[in-house]
Amino acid sequence: MSKLTRLDTVQRIIACGIIAIVRMDDAAGLGQVARAIKEGGVDVIEFTMTTPGALKTIEQCITEFGTSVLLGAGTVLDPETARAAILAGARFLVSPTFNSAVITMAHRYDVAILPGTFTPTEMLTAWEAGADLLKVFPAAAVGPQYFKDVLAPLPFLQLVPTGGVSLENTADFIRAGAVAVAVGSALVDKRAIVEGRFDLLAEKAHQLMIAVREGRGL
């Protein structure tokens, strides 16, 4: 099978509607976490670079899942980290901030990039620099109405709210114009993981997928 292009990756993220953010204190059980999230229907997973062994986990998950799961790297702050993640197999990169050098590196390898933005000026600047999707962080600080307000004059932006996204507000963010949402602790329940209740993660993923469809009126 041919390698995914940036456009393929963006389309797949939008089709799924959810990026599962996996941020853990150690790498133990990360494979089980990924399997549970996939079982629940979310096939786009971001392993943050703040998690020890994140690159190794990406490599292992690619070996296990192949192209059935779209794997990305989060908290990518510089081009050096971006390249390391790409060489490990990440098909998309996410950052809490905007760094044009990271965009350049991602595009050099035809990998999608979601830089972090917050204000309309930051969003437009990142978009004009080539961002494939725009992470809006922290989304909970402004709520869904902010997305609707921003998209009124800038309807071409493709926004992905991150930070404080939950089952309760996912549909509202989608209805407000977000093309997808990124979900961390509301999906990757650390207590459930410690207790080995991976079935709960699968159920949370399933419920979030339902919320996305509800927001899209499907």
**Could you tell me the CATH number of the domain that includes residue 35?**
3.20.20.70
Active site residue 135: yes
Number of domains in the chain: 1
Whether 120 is covered by a domain: the verdict is: yes
Give me the domain span that covers residue 40: 6-213
In 3D, which of 23, 26, 99, 44 has the Cα closest to residue 209?
A: 44
What is the crossing angle of helices 198-215 and 167-175, to 10°? 30
Catalytic residue among 3, 38, 39, 46: 46
Question: What pLDDT does 28 receive?
Answer: 72
Q: What is the Rg, in whole angstroms, of the alpha carbon atoms belonging to the chain?
A: 16
Whether 22 is covered by a domain: the verdict is: yes
Active site residue 46: yes
Whether 130 is covered by a domain: the verdict is: yes
Whether 34 is covered by a domain: the verdict is: yes
Which residues contact residue 72 at a Cβ distance below 8 angstroms, ignoring those fewer than 6 apart? 19, 44, 45, 46, 47, 90, 91, 92, 93, 94, 112
Catalytic residue among 64, 122, 135, 168: 135
Segments of the chain with pLDDT less than 50: 1
Question: What pLDDT does 30 receive?
Answer: 84
Question: What pLDDT does 2 receive?
Answer: 54
Whether 79 is covered by a domain: the verdict is: yes
Whether 114 is covered by a domain: the verdict is: yes
Question: What pLDDT does 1 receive?
Answer: 42
Whether 1 is covered by a domain: the verdict is: no
Whether 160 is covered by a domain: the verdict is: yes
Question: What pLDDT does 108 receive?
Answer: 97
